[in-house]
Chain A
């Protein structure tokens, strides 16, 4: 199925489209649909991302962003359509496939009663990682938590917990990283630190999808942007030279035209 790009704002700054036919894609979604009863939570979403690209998906509450992310993570079976990582189709029943994806959510996905190090060890063992001690130390160091390794997670601030959640998601060195509203509940300082950590994910190897309704934070680190509304991608564009104000105008106009 060809990539569908809906342009609703003719004057938006655009970069030339990539030649998609010969590229090796880090992450592909093709005709993704998910229904819950009569509701189409995700409706025919398709995109292709090269390794190293970061796509930010914007949209109002209830647009289907988290449902889309869960299908990309392989934890929710699509009603129709496919997800592929490096050309390989995801299979919800094939649990080993999940090691290729790392997820950061607005929840930490951590155990409050375990220390930062114990949480990473636990998840590392679930992924069957070798050299776990070195990996855990390196990840704690990378997110600036080496000196808090023995602190119970319940005693960490929200910002530190999110950094630990990022360390957990990257512990098994996934090819695809999915971020679901990672800035929720963070103050400005903690958000800035997390943004720098997320920006460091763009190392040319990993493909990243960020879901947020915060336009400024989402645009800042994006290579491409999508707007999801009532399950559909109503826009999928290169980030281009948009500034926050220009993009907000585009976002509002897109939603108004779609309604």
Chain B
């Protein structure tokens, strides 16, 4: 219980600061809306049926937008040495990692909601599948992406290349999330039964769990010297 309290303490602090400054949410939200507008004008709907490519566009927008915000996960800690302050406390480092993941998950889930609304409005998408299954797919996909990116953001922060290194580290590893997330979302948009996406959902759950466990286990080697 005390452990979960520590996870929540870290997440609460990050969310409190974010909902005061809106620095990361504003960047990710603006990106999502602008990409939606650009895709709207760049796709010839007479040639391409938006419904059939929407899942891929939505997931790419979530991931690219997420990179903008999640890449700055440890910026708060760097501003006046706060990371040193945390490292001098007895908090288990996996609890610090999980707190960061929780805060990032909340922020990116909000952005994912914005992305679905924006793309739905611009492309007149009709959703015929199970909403619960869609929430599960998006939730698990976002969790896997966030678990991976939070760890690699700590790696990138420790290098001289900083944020510019992050996409190079993240994109090759996040491929399973893209494949299964896009497949499941596309099928749900097409009104296919949940049974047809349950395999993808299980794979998303497995990869999210792997990224979370690996992240929690490896975080201390990344963050401590």
By a beta-carbon cutoff of 8 Å, the part of chain A in contact with chain B is 73-77, 92, 95-99, 101-103, 105, 107-114, 118, 122-123, 125-128, 168
Contact = CB atoms under 8 A, between A and B. Distances in A.
B172 interface: no
B201 to A, nearest CB: 35
Given A96-B90, A123-B89, A75 B84 contact: yes
Interface of B: 2, 5-6, 9, 13, 16-17, 20-21, 76, 79-82, 84-93, 224-225
B90 A127 contact: yes
9 contacts: A73-B88, A75-B84, A96-B90, A108-B81, A110-B80, A111-B80, A113-B21, A113-B76, A128-B90
Contact of A110 (B21, B82, B89, B91): B82
Contacts of B16: 114, 118
B88 A125 contact: no
Given A76-B225, A96-B90, A126-B86, 15 more contacts: A95-B92, A99-B89, A103-B85, A105-B81, A108-B81, A109-B80, A109-B84, A109-B85, A111-B17, A111-B76, A111-B79, A111-B82, A126-B91, A128-B6, A128-B90
Contacts of A73: 88
A101 B88 contact: yes
| Chain B interface helix/strand/loop/mixed | helix
A123 B85 CA distance: 8
A73 B81 CA distance: 15
Contacts of B6: 125-126, 128
Contact of A125 (B5, B76, B92, B93): B5
A116 B9 CA distance: 16
A101 B224 CA distance: 17
A63 B149 CA distance: 38
A99 B84 contact: no
* Top 7 A-B pairs, shortest CB-CB distance: A107-B81, A109-B85, A126-B89, A125-B9, A113-B17, A95-B90, A109-B81
B84 A105 contact: yes
A109 B82 contact: yes
**A92, A112, A126: which has the most chain B beta carbons within 10 Å?**
A126
B85 A168 contact: yes
Contact of B87 (A75, A77, A122): A75
**B9, B85, B88, B91: which has the most chain A beta carbons within 10 Å?**
B88
A122 B80 contact: no
A45 to B, nearest CB: 19
Contacts of B20: 113
Nearest to B86: A126
A39 to B, nearest CB: 15
B95 to A, nearest CB: 9
Contacts of B86: 126
A127 B89 contact: yes
Contact of B9 (A92, A95, A102, A122): A122
Contacts of A76: 225
Contacts of B76: 111, 113
Contacts of B93: 95
Nearest to B10: A126
A216 B67 CA distance: 49
Contacts of B13: 111, 114, 122
Contacts of A118: 16
A112 B80 CA distance: 8
Contacts of A97: 90
A166 B168 CA distance: 41
Contacts of B224: 75, 92
